[in-house]
Amino acid sequence: MRDYEYPEPEWTAENQNRRKGETTLKQCGWCEYASCGSCRHDCYLSTSCSLLKEYGVGREVYWDTECIVKKLGKDDFKSVISSKNYAIKNHKDGIKSLQKEIAIIKGLKLKEKPLLPDNRPYDYYNLNDVIYVFFNKHKKWVKGKVVRGYRHQDGCVSYVLEDYPESRKGWGCGASVPWILKEWEYKFFKKYPADFKDWLELSNREYNGKKMPIKDYEKALLVSN
């Protein structure tokens, strides 16, 4: 085994402009089958051979290692081929298992429900969307709309709330928190309060080091207009 501080190639213009695949089955550095390890200018400095990953001799090679594959005989590859066929079988079995699980999920009679906060996509809130925010100070859900602000569609959402002119200064929150709802979500949970309870429990974790006041959210929703 060589020392980790193995000399790098001379970084001439030619070496810096080489591309992966240029030394395939000749030298490890820019070989198509070099995998993992430290890499610079498309050259693997220390790496392993994906063709031989089941074969101990190929697990640690360097950029200037001459191709080991071509030094081995046909019989040397019997165990390698056997291992790769075994991996293929495992992958096929895994695919079948996943397909079965997908079929089971698709077969469930699920109704449309609001996404859990952590599953909201980055562009979930758009400008002028009508939203409802739980205003903790007054323990109630307040209607508002989305406005452009800090990190819009990048993890955050800014809004202006009705009856709270001070919110025009730039109020907002994270896009993946349960105290902000789209209008349709708010109406859905008003209609199905049991689903709101389940949704909150599934979303219940610490935010900024504090647990959510779930009971306050539920109670406020039931009494709001």
Q: Three-state SS for 84? A: helix
Range of the domain at 43: 13-74
How many domains would you assign to the chain?
2
**Average pLDDT rounded to a whole number, residues 86-101:** 95
d(CA 162, CA 145): 8
User: pLDDT at residue 97 above 60?
Assistant: yes
Same domain flag for 127 and 219? yes
pLDDT at 105: 92
Is residue 3 scored above 50 in pLDDT?
no
Q: Are residues 53 and 135 in the same domain?
A: no
In a domain, 164, yes or no: yes
> Is the separation of the CB atoms in 141 and 224 below 8 Å?
yes
pTM: 0.64
What does the alpha-carbon distance between residue 42 and residue 52 come to, in Å, rounded to a whole number?
Answer: 20
Structure token pair of residue 142: 């307040």
The amino acid at 223:
V
Q: Which residues of 189-212 are buried (b: 16+ CB within 10 A; e: fewer)?
A: beeeeeebbebbeebeeebeeeeb
DSSP symbol at 4: S
